[in-house]
A and B are shown apart, each in its own frame.
Chain A
Amino acid sequence: DAGITQSPRHKVTETGTPVTLRCHQTENHRYMYWYRQDPGHGLRLIHYSYGVKDTDKGEVSDGYSVSRSKTEDFLLTLESATSSQTSVYFCAIGGQGNYGGELFFGEGSRLTVL
């Protein structure tokens, strides 16, 4: 196991409520990522981090914010959830340098926004 856990694993919430997903790692990896997976779209990058307090946007970052105050935790926040954010969210860790190294994925967090 790559030492990565996501919480919660399942969540149902209502439109307009804030939601925070947590990704926790025990591997001391520098790089951490948040993806969402939707049918027909594959995995799309939301945000990623290349160090503590160093984050950047991915291709579908609107409506999401992230924080990384320590190496082991990467939080994804939906400030005001919408039905279009119903999805399965994956956290990933790993990578070496600019382009190498495999990424290890968490088990996913299924979010339903009613």
Chain B
Amino acid sequence: AQKITQTQPGMFVQEKEAVTLDCTYDTSDQSYGLFWYKQPSSGEMIFLIYQGSYDEQNATEGRYSLNFQKARKSANLVISASQLGDSAMYFCAMRVIFRLTFGKGITLSVRP
């Protein structure tokens, strides 16, 4: 069975600073994909970044980067230069054999 763990309580960050959101995963499969999604208060799910289990380089998408540590089974999201619009719930997810499993999410609040 696959499992995603997000245990941080609500996170706070000052505008323009960087923040790391933690995610650990567990699977016995060698082939898997790791995702991060953002859900603002309006409720839509917004795809941020993807990392494949065989990718050697950490994924980056603009201000988002995924710190992939395969041996530790962690896939932390780093947001650089936080903006007020980054305030939202963030979900880590893992896709294995078609199924996409989500963690419980982390709330991020950006302070001006």
Contact = CB atoms under 8 A, between A and B. Distances in A.
Interface of A: 31, 33, 35, 40-45, 48, 50, 56, 58-59, 88, 90, 92, 95, 98-105, 107-108
Contacts of B6: 42
Nearest to B52: A100
Contacts of B100: 33, 45, 92, 95, 103
Nearest to A35: B102
Nearest to B91: A42
Given A90-B45, A100-B33, A102-B35, A95 B98 contact: yes
B104 A40 contact: yes
B47 interface: yes
Chief secondary structure at chain A's binding surface: strand
Given A42-B105, A44-B102, A45-B100, A100 B43 contact: no
A99 B53 CA distance: 9
Given A95-B100, A105-B44, A43 B33 contact: no
A31 B10 CA distance: 33
Contacts of A104: 47
B98 A108 contact: no
Interface residues of B, number: 27
A78 B108 CA distance: 34
Contacts of B45: 43, 90, 92, 105
B50 interface: yes
Given A35-B102, A42-B103, 6 more contacts: A45-B100, A58-B99, A99-B53, A100-B33, A100-B50, A107-B44
Interface centre among B31, B93, B100, B104 (most CB of A within 10 A): B100
Nearest to A42: B104
B80 interface: no
